[in-house]
Amino acid sequence: MAPTGTTPLNLSNLGIAAGGTAPQRLQQVIAILREMSRQTDPQALVQSYAVRMREIFKSDQFVSFSRRNVPSDKFRITRSSQFKTDIDPWKHSAQLPVLGGGILGELIYGEEPRIINDFHPDPTDPAYEHLKGMRSLAAIPHYDGGKSINMVAVMRKDANGFDMERFPELVLMSGLFGRATHNLALTRDLLAANAQLERELQVVARIQRSLLPSSLPELNSLQLATHYQPSANAGGDMFDFFDLPGGRLGILIADVSGHGTPAAVVMAVVHALAHSLPGDAEPAAAVLSQLNKTLTARYTTDGATFVTAFYGVFDPAARTLHYSSAGHNPPLVLDRETGTIGWLSNAQSLPLGIDPKCEFIEAVAYLDPGDALVLYTDGITEAKGPSTTKIIPMYGEARLETIVRQCAGGLGNLDAPAILRAILTNLDEFTLGTPPSDDRTIVVGKIA
């Protein structure tokens, strides 16, 4: 049974009722909704809405309280007209009082809207300072997960201060406001978390870029040009160069499966491993074998990550490239004299990080003055172009062959930076400038 002077609410009656004409109440609702839609901060939204609700209820005092993040028999006072300063409960909940029992505890754990039109607050009530002098009270729950997690109690100094006929629509309006405020608070927290994550990703991106060569090796017999573009803040592509005895140069390009920060972390591991190899970074097959053994033993044990890689050792005196490939896209070589395109595909093995017993093989390519060498990751050849059908075209090896032949062969004979620019321009024209869905890396070498 309801306590004396208490009116339980039958929520089946939600019709328009007395307390102003329907057009007048509609204008009140519109004004509230407009004001709510302008707010981006939940604290400001509550403050704005409280003013509107006091106008509607004609209340003298109010108190808001919550069961969230308190013991099961307690509640926290989140707002009160008796507070001298307004405290943001989302940011400073520890500064707000936690109470138990009394009429407010009975109301919020009772789970139902109620009007008490003959209200006599008990001086021993733990929340008495928020209730004293009031003679009528209307309690409106704000549900979350089907439970009355939050509640607002508006009060008047006079008995019989609240109209039961209008109460249902005000319960509905207040409940919807409560959900809007909760969602806005979640949105604010999500935006703050995203901003923090973005700052951390920017740091990861800066660290990753610092691992790439800051300058290119200078060889009289080989001119180099490079391009690196991650699909996100950080990516799983990498390229690197190693100075070797006799003026030789190690050239490494690799692509970690996946994208973003996880791939960038594995890329950093590969970089560290490549630079901590015992002795010089050669022969090519031995380098990939050592990387593979360490990756499979410690870093790719879950089988979800692998790394494709191509490593070659260029000898400027002999103009040879001894190379080995771990499942990587075969580099392209243009023969300046014949104008033909070849692919360095004679030393393919499994990607790194899959089989610790994988045996890597080695092959050799002979390069002549004017020849062009293009190493790349699959973000180049698998870049997608526009399509009006379900079949989406990819840039592909054929387009890469064509543009390299035009730039490096025949009358073109462009240097490495010019060849790189031509490839990127052609790629951009094909994709219509669409941001990459995969990391893109190119290393162009021109034999002098």
In a domain, 325, yes or no: yes
H-state helical runs in 121-231:
167-211
At residue 53 the predicted structure's pLDDT band, cuts being 50, 70 and 90, is: low
Q: Is 145 exposed, middle or buried (0-12, 13-18, 19+ CB in 10 A)?
A: exposed
Based on the fold, state whether residues 185 and 208 are members of the same structural domain.
no
Task: Please say which residue of 155, 190, 225 terminates a domain.
Answer: 190
| Distance, CA of 141 to CA of 174 (rounded, Å) | 8
Based on the fold, state whether residues 279 and 421 are members of the same structural domain.
yes
The values of phi and psi at residue 112, to 5°, are: -125, 150
At residue 40 the predicted structure's pLDDT band, cuts being 50, 70 and 90, is: low
Residue % of the chain over a pLDDT of 70: 86
Based on the fold, state whether residues 223 and 120 are members of the same structural domain.
no
Bridge partners (DSSP) of residue 224 are: 445
In a domain, 308, yes or no: yes
Based on the fold, state whether residues 97 and 214 are members of the same structural domain.
no
Bridge partners (DSSP) of residue 384 are: 394
| pLDDT of the residue at 1 | 36
Quote the pTM value.
0.67
Task: Please say which residue of 168, 190, 212 terminates a domain.
Answer: 190
Q: What are the Cα distances from residue 158, in Å, to 89, 101, 164, 167?
A: 30, 25, 15, 17
- Of 260, 206, 210, 204, the C-alpha closest to 237 is 260
Based on the fold, state whether residues 247 and 185 are members of the same structural domain.
no
Whether the per-residue pLDDT at 269 is higher than 80: the answer is yes
In a domain, 195, yes or no: no
Instruction: Give the residue, 83 or 181, on which the prediction is more confident.
Output: 83
Whether the per-residue pLDDT at 13 is higher than 50: the answer is no
Highest mean pLDDT among 254-268, 354-368, 395-409: 354-368
| pLDDT of the residue at 112 | 93
- CATH number of the domain enclosing 318: 3.60.40.10
Mean pLDDT for all residues in the chain: 86
- Of 336, 340, 332, the C-alpha closest to 423 is 332
- Sign of the C-alpha dihedral, residues 206, 194, 441, 237? positive
Based on the fold, state whether residues 164 and 222 are members of the same structural domain.
no
| Distance, CA of 178 to CA of 35 (rounded, Å) | 15
Instruction: Give the residue, 14 or 309, on which the prediction is more confident.
Output: 309
- Out of 73-82, 119-128, 171-180, 379-388, least confident range: 171-180
At residue 17 the predicted structure's pLDDT band, cuts being 50, 70 and 90, is: very low
Whether the per-residue pLDDT at 12 is higher than 50: the answer is no
Give the domain range for residue 272: 201-447
Instruction: Give the residue, 33 or 165, on which the prediction is more confident.
Output: 165
Domain count along the chain: 2
Highest mean pLDDT among 56-65, 203-212, 229-238, 288-297: 288-297
Task: Please say which residue of 143, 167, 190 terminates a domain.
Answer: 190
- CATH number of the domain enclosing 170: 3.30.450.40
pLDDT in tens, 340-366: 999 999 999 999 999 999 999 999 999
At residue 199 the predicted structure's pLDDT band, cuts being 50, 70 and 90, is: confident
Based on the fold, state whether residues 92 and 65 are members of the same structural domain.
yes
Whether the per-residue pLDDT at 222 is higher than 90: the answer is yes
Based on the fold, state whether residues 155 and 212 are members of the same structural domain.
no
| pLDDT of the residue at 6 | 45
Based on the fold, state whether residues 186 and 209 are members of the same structural domain.
no
In a domain, 321, yes or no: yes
Based on the fold, state whether residues 105 and 238 are members of the same structural domain.
no
pLDDT in tens, 204-215: 878 888 889 999
pLDDT in tens, 83-122: 988 888 878 889 999 999 999 999 999 999 999 999 999 9
Q: For residue 442, what is the enclosing H or E element?
A: strand 440-447
| pLDDT of the residue at 261 | 83
The full DSSP string for 369-388 is: TT-EEEEE-HHHHTPBPP-S
| pLDDT of the residue at 304 | 82
Instruction: Give the residue, 364 or 203, on which the prediction is more confident.
Output: 364
Q: What are the Cα distances from residue 165, in Å, to 16, 28, 114, 171?
A: 8, 17, 13, 11
Based on the fold, state whether residues 180 and 303 are members of the same structural domain.
no
| pLDDT of the residue at 15 | 33
Based on the fold, state whether residues 160 and 127 are members of the same structural domain.
yes
Instruction: Give the residue, 90 or 372, on which the prediction is more confident.
Output: 372
| Distance, CA of 147 to CA of 315 (rounded, Å) | 74
| Distance, CA of 292 to CA of 307 (rounded, Å) | 9
Whether the per-residue pLDDT at 52 is higher than 90: the answer is no
Whether the per-residue pLDDT at 411 is higher than 60: the answer is no
Q: What are the Cα distances from residue 243, in Å, to 7, 163, 313?
A: 87, 87, 10
At residue 442 the predicted structure's pLDDT band, cuts being 50, 70 and 90, is: very high
How large is the C-alpha radius of gyration of the chain? 35
Please say whether the beta carbons of 162 and 58 come within 8 A.
no
Instruction: Give the residue, 305 or 90, on which the prediction is more confident.
Output: 305
Q: What are the Cα distances from residue 353, in Å, to 256, 293, 314, 372?
A: 10, 8, 25, 31
In a domain, 1, yes or no: no
